[in-house]
Amino acid sequence: MDPATAAALGALIRRQRVAALATLRDGAPNVSLAAYLAAPDFQAFRIRISRLAWHTQDLRRDPTTALAIAETDDGRDDPQTLARVTLRGEATELRADDPAFAALRSGWLERFPQSAVTFELADFSFWSIAVRDARFVAGLGRTHDLSPADLAAVARDGR
Amino acid sequence: MDPATAAALGALIRRQRVAALATLRDGAPNVSLAAYLAAPDFQAFRIRISRLAWHTQDLRRDPTTALAIAETDDGRDDPQTLARVTLRGEATELRADDPAFAALRSGWLERFPQSAVTFELADFSFWSIAVRDARFVAGLGRTHDLSPADLAAVARDGR
């Protein structure tokens, strides 16, 4: 992937705030919306979700998941040229006594100040999606398959 | 669902152009981006996709699918309040000799003029997703489960 494409992917992941979250529900695909925060090295994507939501029920039964992060539709003539990345992996619930919790909480609150209330509600928790592979569609027909190591390089160099 | 909520759902479906498309890939969730056009009665959502794309390979193996249509992130304080709807159902490929093809082609070209080229490429085809059920999240904690009949009412009255 050339430097400009890597920079575009890095900017997409850092700029957007919400992703489409795909889960398995009774063996069928389900998809919902979730705010996310990428780990600095792009190896994991964190979401904060309620136990009451379908996607959380789904992940408790089967942690296999995929996230799609897409460029905002700016009304351009051809929306199929919008950049988007699919990240596939496994989700793990993060306990409040996890060593990573405090740093994640402060990063999350910095990005989503309005979510402070969710830290007082017992039904919300962080889940961390460890990325197994990714597919970046930089535009129509410009598809790049990426490993976690490729993503780490994007996180490091794609600024 | 009160009239204002129905109107918000109708506007969301008609205003947005791209959806997150969840499919099953080797038993795991996959999610990508697809431009869509809703049938006037909201009973089916049409997409135009290439045989070369993963999601099309997925649907050929298992037509169970889900679409998520979300309000554009406008940078508001809390992105979890963005309205979004999940539509679950089954996708069927539409043949070019289908009686519905000509009307769909002209509606599609009206909405996506830049896609004219895809009608000259052999690998693109329409798929129609027949909606089995839907879940509208009008905002944080404002969730509505909808049947196809409910969606038809939204299409009729929610303007």
Task: Tell whether the model's pLDDT for residue A101 goes beyond 90.
Answer: yes
Q: Answer yes or no: is pLDDT of A8 > 70.
A: yes
Residue A87 Rama label (left phi>0; alpha psi -120 to 50; beta): beta
Chain B partners within 8 Å of A135 (Cβ): 54
Average pLDDT score over residue span A1-26: 96
Question: Could A78 and B115 be called an inter-chain contact, meaning their C-beta atoms sit closer than 8 Å?
Answer: yes
B51-81 per-residue burial string, b: 16 or more CB within 10 A, e: under 16: eebbbbebbeebbbbbbbbbbeeeeeeebbe
**Model pTM score:** 0.96
CB of B125 within 8 Å of a chain A CB? The answer is no
Q: Which pLDDT band holds residue A158 (cuts at 50, 70, 90)?
A: low
Burial of B146 (C-beta count, 10 Å sphere; 0-12/13-18/19+): buried
The answer to whether the CB atoms of B79 and A18 lie below 8 A apart is yes
Cα-to-chain-centroid distance, residue B111: 14
Q: What is the ipTM of this complex?
A: 0.95
Mutant choice from B31, B50, B59 vs A, greatest count of A C-beta within 10 A = B31
pLDDT of A1 higher than 90 = no
pLDDT of residue A49: 96
pLDDT for position A19: 98
Q: Which of A49, A23, A25, A27 is nearest to A36 (CA)?
A: A49
Separation of alpha carbons B9 and B6, rounded Å = 5
Which pLDDT belongs to residue A159? 63
Q: Which of B24, B33, B109 to mutate to test the interface with A (most CBs of A within 10 A)?
A: B33
pLDDT, one tens digit for every residue, chain B (159 residues): 899 999 999 999 999 999 999 999 999 999 999 999 999 999 999 999 999 999 999 999 999 999 999 999 999 999 999 999 999 999 999 998 999 999 999 999 999 999 999 999 989 999 999 999 999 999 877 999 999 999 999 999 866
What pLDDT, in 10s, does the model give residues A75-97? 999 999 999 999 999 999 999 89
Q: Which among B17, B77, B115 has the least Cβ separation from residue A73? A: B17
% of chain B beyond a pLDDT of 90: 92
